[in-house]
Each structure stands twice: as structure tokens, then as C-alpha cells.
Amino acid sequence: MSNIGTYDERRKNFDWSISEEELEYKPENVINIGWYCSDRICQMGKADKLALIWEGFGGREKKYSYNDIRLASNTIGDFLQKCGIKSEDRVCIFLDRIPELYLGFLGILKIGAIAQPLFSAFGDESLLVRLENAETSAIITQRKHVGKVRKIIDKLPHLKHVIIVDHDGKKPLKEREMVFSLEEAEPVENLKIYPTKAESASVLHYTSGTTGLPKGVKHVHYSLIGQYLTAKWVLDISDDDIYWCTADPGWVTGTSYGIIGPWSLGVTQCVLDAGFSADAWYRFIEKHKVTVWYSAPTAIRSLMKAGDEVVKKYDLSSLRHLVSVGEPLNAEAVVWSEKVFGRPFHDSYWQTETGAIMISNYPGMKIKPGSMGKPFPGIEATILDPETYNPISQPGRIGLIAFKPGWPSMMRTYWKNEETYKSKFVNGWYLSGDRANIDKDGYFWFIGRDDDVINTGGHLVSPFEVESALLEHEAVAESAVVSKPDEVNMEVVKAFVVLHPGHEPDDDMELNIMNFIRKRLSPLAMPQEIEYVESLPKTRSGKIMRRLLHAKEWGEEIGDTSTLEDE
């Protein structure tokens, strides 16, 4: 029996007070995520339980108990306070996936400051835009990344402290720089936890929209109520699980479900900071006997690309529940995972702005491969008519995915951009910016970003549908579909395709692929052109940046590319 029990029963009897009671939180009380993810677990008698297994390059390993993470986050919080960091000051975490990232996140929250996690792969310009917008007070970083900070520090008058966690003393410190070593610092047994309330700001995540500058999504400590329960019911995390979330905390999944969810539940989680390869990942699962695995479709497709034979080299029998996030999971990937792991990946849908999982496939619920699943209990989701913004009752009709505001982890604003925030709410609904339809059984089916959907001759084509059909072809490793201009139909479908090794992009291949997908797609959805590429542009969280391909076809400005994987 899964944590969620029977989905329909949970929907019928649901109230968020279920989560509040389990966390022993009463409205108006203090609620501090840092305390809940460390001190509280220790008070529950789990001080010696393993909280984090970290593995870096070359198999280096560190392990931390819940008491270790309590002390470490206290020590970091105390250091920041002595630097003059106060409640609501923004503290940026600009680190690789080293333990200080995870422990620092809790330490920042414990003192009432706002954590601002950023991908360590960002260049100096991308860093500048986000630190400037947030008026960040301090940044925690490493020797290998401090050069980027030095390039822009003169443009950041608010940035008072540049804290280097691995300084070796060989080179002199520059302006505003200071050293902090977790290994050498005196552990702080008692830290006064800042009395944050439900609406106190906790995390500032920057999301890269299709146009304009990145937006700072502000979350609050009450988001814990949603993150705790979704981690328990969707990820099905139980006390004896070994959990692995592959997401970097520079991305919201890496904080909501790579820090807050598992640690608020008091489970052991693993972190691998050693790059991607199928062998490395499978070896990691086998070594640590991972039971629950949360990953992204891009990674899953990369594992598919590596083939079925490599899976057989490892004992992956510990796996019991697999979930995916980040972009739609193609039906082919669900079928493949069932074949090679003996278990399907359960797709889940949510956004930086929603803070927690909104629509998902649940343990024990029938999976329809390719579907996003159904709304989480307590979430009212619908499809709106794009013209009237009224809910669509007709099954199968495409519209805008929308949610009734009021769930615990919903963003509270865009940082210094209230106008854009307000524009996300229409007719009493939060607009996700994505399109889908709902079938007669209540399952949601993703169509595409509102601005990705292709209108060819008045017929709406889902890029996801075409990409999924292409991926079923044995030669196709990855695909991305956008519109291109057309004199007759205004726009038509164009596909960008990455082939598996050993397949040549010639005329015969194109004919073969076209004949293959013709049986699966309507004539209007058929690509009018296939362009073969070595790789697709992706964000660091693994999402395909279709808008870059679209901009190229239409001769448009490409906009913000700061989250681009190889920038």
C-alpha cells in the first residue's frame, strides 16, 4: 500500500491540515524550514540516522547524520549572522553540488535570510543580472567560481561578502572576500532559530521566461506544508527509503525535492556530483541501494540512448518507485523503463512558480503512458478556453492549464515585478502558460508551452505529440519540434532530430522516418522538414529550449540564454 492510499479517497477527504498535523504545525506558529529539516528530525529520535550520502568525482564520499546536518547548518547560520546577515537578506549559493550547498541552504533559512540558489555553471553576466535584481548581500562560492564574482563585483554595491568555502590559502583574498571552512569551524551546538512565520520569505528562485530578463520567484516558509506531503504521497518516500533526486538545487526541483521534501520526512538521501554517464548512474544506484529515484526526461532519454545492455551490468533491484519531472515524459520512455527496470517512470508536472508537484501519476494508480496524470489532492486544476478563460468541460479539447490559487507552496510574487505576477492570474485562476487537454477519465495530456503550440492552417499541433512519434523510431535519439513560416498555412511543422550513433542523416533515412511517423500522425502534424543536428539546445535542468530553434526559423531575437547548458 502506498503512502497516498486510494487516490479518489484522498481527493474526496483532503485538507492541507493533514500535512500541518503530521508536522505538528499550528497556524500562526513559527515555521522555519531549516529547523524542520534538521533539529525537528533529531528531536524525533533520529539524530544518528544517515541524512546525506554525498559522492563526488573519483568516488570521494562523505556521510552526514541528521545531527551532523543540524550542527553544520547551525555553524553556517552563525557565521552568516556574525557577518551581519539579517532576516530577509538575500544570500546566494553559487556552488557545485557539494555538501556545503545543501547544509548552507538550511543555515540561511535558520537565520531568517532568503536563500538564492544559482547554477554554478552560470557565467558572470548571468550571475550579475540575478545578483543585481535581488540586491544580494552575500554569496557563498568556491575557488573555481570566484573569478566570475570578481569580474562583476564593482557593479554590485549591495554585495558585502564573498564567502569562499574551499580557500587553500595559496592566493591572497580580494575585495570583500572571506574564508569559511566547515571542517575547521567550531561546531555551533545552539543557534537561535529566527521565528519565521508562514508568509516569511524563504527561497528566491530565478526562472528564465521566453522573453525579457529572468524573474525572481519568491517562496515562503509555509511552502513546506505542500513540499512535505507531495514528497510523501507522489514520491512515495517512507522512513526506510534511500532516495535520489538527480536535480541541481539551482533548479527548484533540487530544493523542493532535493532538500526540503526528503529531509522534512527524515529519510536518507544521496547526491552524486560527478557528471552524467549511464554507467556512473547505474553504479551509484547499485552501490547505495537507491529505492526511490526522481529524475528528468532528458536524463531518461539519455539512458535509453545508452542502450539496454548497460542496464544488465548492474543490480538495480533495490529500485521500487521512479518519478520524472522537468518536461513531458514521452510514452516511449515509460514503456522502456518498465521493460529495463521492471517499473514505469511516473510523470509529474509542476513549475518554479507552483513550488511543488501539481499534477502527477501516483503509486498504485493506472498509468497512461504519455499522460501527466491527475491533480494532486487539494489542487483544483482545469483547462481554460484561451479566448474566454472559462473552464472547458469537453474531453479532449485543448486549452490552457490553470490552477485555483491558494495552495501552500504557490509563489507569492515575482521579485520587484508585481505587475508581471498579477498578469498570471485571470478569472480567479493561475495561468501556467502551458496547454493540455483532459480525457474522459480525468487524465491530463500535455500539448506544449502556450507559445510552442503550432497553428498550421487553423489546426493546433502539439510539438510533444510529434516529438513522441519521432522518438519511437529506432534511429531517433532526441527530437525537438517548432513551427516555421509558410506562405499557405502561415506556419508548418519542422523537426530537429539527433540520431543514434551508427545511423546516417541521408535521404533514405528521412524517407524511412517520414513513412514511420505517417501512421502515427495526422497529415497536418507531419513535419515539412527534418533538420539533423548533433545536439539540441537545453537548459541546465534538461529542458529543450525550443524557443531558440523557433527564433532561428523566424529570424527573431533569441532573448535570455543564461540558462543554456553550454553557454
Question: Tens of pLDDT along 19-28?
Answer: 999 999 999 9
Residue type, 333: A
For the chain, helix (H) and strand (E) counts, in that order, are 18, 27
Helix (H, G, I), strand (E, B) or coil at 485: strand
Helices 124-134 + 143-152 axis angle, to 10: 70
The C-alpha atoms of residue 5 and residue 320 are separated, in whole angstroms, by: 16
| CB-based contacts of 543-549 (< 8 A; 24+ apart in sequence) | 543/298, 543/326, 543/327, 544/298, 544/327, 544/478, 544/480, 546/449, 546/452, 546/463, 546/480, 546/481, 546/482, 547/210, 547/451, 547/452, 549/480, 549/482, 549/496
- 409 Cβ partners below 8 Å, 6+ apart? 219, 222, 223, 225, 226, 227, 256, 354, 355, 356
Domain ranges of the chain: 7-438, 453-554
Q: Output the pLDDT for position 294.
A: 97
Query: Residue 507 — pLDDT band, cuts 50, 70, 90?
Result: confident
Contact 478, 470 (CB under 8 A): no
Q: Is 559 left (phi over 0), alpha (psi -120 to 50) or beta?
A: left
Section 502-513 average pLDDT: 91
Comparing C-alpha atoms, which of 399, 397, 360, 352 is closest to residue 378?
360
The upper half-sphere exposure of residue 399, i.e. CA atoms within 13 Å in the direction of its Cβ, equals: 23
Where does residue 28 rank: exposed (0-12), middle (13-18), buried (19+ CB within 10 A)?
A: exposed
Average pLDDT for 344-373: 96
Task: Residues 453-554: name the CATH superfamily.
Answer: ANL, C-terminal domain (3.30.300.30)
SS3 199: coil
User: What is the pLDDT at residue 71?
Assistant: 98
- pLDDT number for residue 212: 60
Q: How far is CA 68 from CA 161, 183, 188, 271, in A?
A: 26, 12, 11, 16
Per-residue confidence (pLDDT) for residue 320, from 0 to 100? 97
Instruction: Report the range out of 7-16, 449-458, 515-524 with the highest average pLDDT.
Output: 7-16
For the chain, give the percent of residues with pLDDT over 70: 96
> Full-prediction pTM beyond 0.75?
yes
Interatomic CA distance for residues 496 and 517, integer angstroms:
14
Tens digit of each residue's pLDDT (9 = 90 or more) over 115-165: 999 989 888 888 998 999 999 999 999 999 999 999 999 999 999 999 999
Average per-residue pLDDT in the chain? 92
Phi, psi of 403 (to 5 degrees): -130, 145
Instruction: Check pLDDT > 60 for residue 478.
Output: yes
Do 198 and 25 touch, CB atoms closer than 8 A?
Answer: no
The reported pLDDT for the residue numbered 561 is 67
Q: Would you say residue 308 has pLDDT above 50?
A: yes
3-state SS class at 58: helix
Return the pLDDT at 464: 79
Of all residues in the chain, what percent carry a pLDDT higher than 90? Answer: 77
Average pLDDT over residues 531-547: 85
Mean pLDDT of 360-375: 95
Task: Round to whole Å and give the CA distance between 396 and 371.
Answer: 12
pLDDT at res. 88: 98
pLDDT 10s digits, 180-239: 999 999 999 999 999 999 999 999 999 865 456 789 999 999 999 999 999 999 999 999
pLDDT at 567 over 50: no
Instruction: Say which CATH class 7-438 falls into.
Output: alpha beta
Give the chain's end-to-end CA distance (angstroms, integer): 45
Q: What is the mean pLDDT of residues 258-265?
A: 98
Spatial separation of the C-alpha atoms in residues 456 and 479, rounded to whole Å: 19
How many other C-beta atoms can be found within 10 angstroms of the C-beta atom of residue 459? 12
pLDDT higher than 70, residue 402: yes
Mean per-residue pLDDT for 382-389? 95
Crossing angle for the helix pair 278-288 and 297-306, nearest 10 degrees?
100
Q: What is the mean pLDDT of residues 407-415?
A: 98
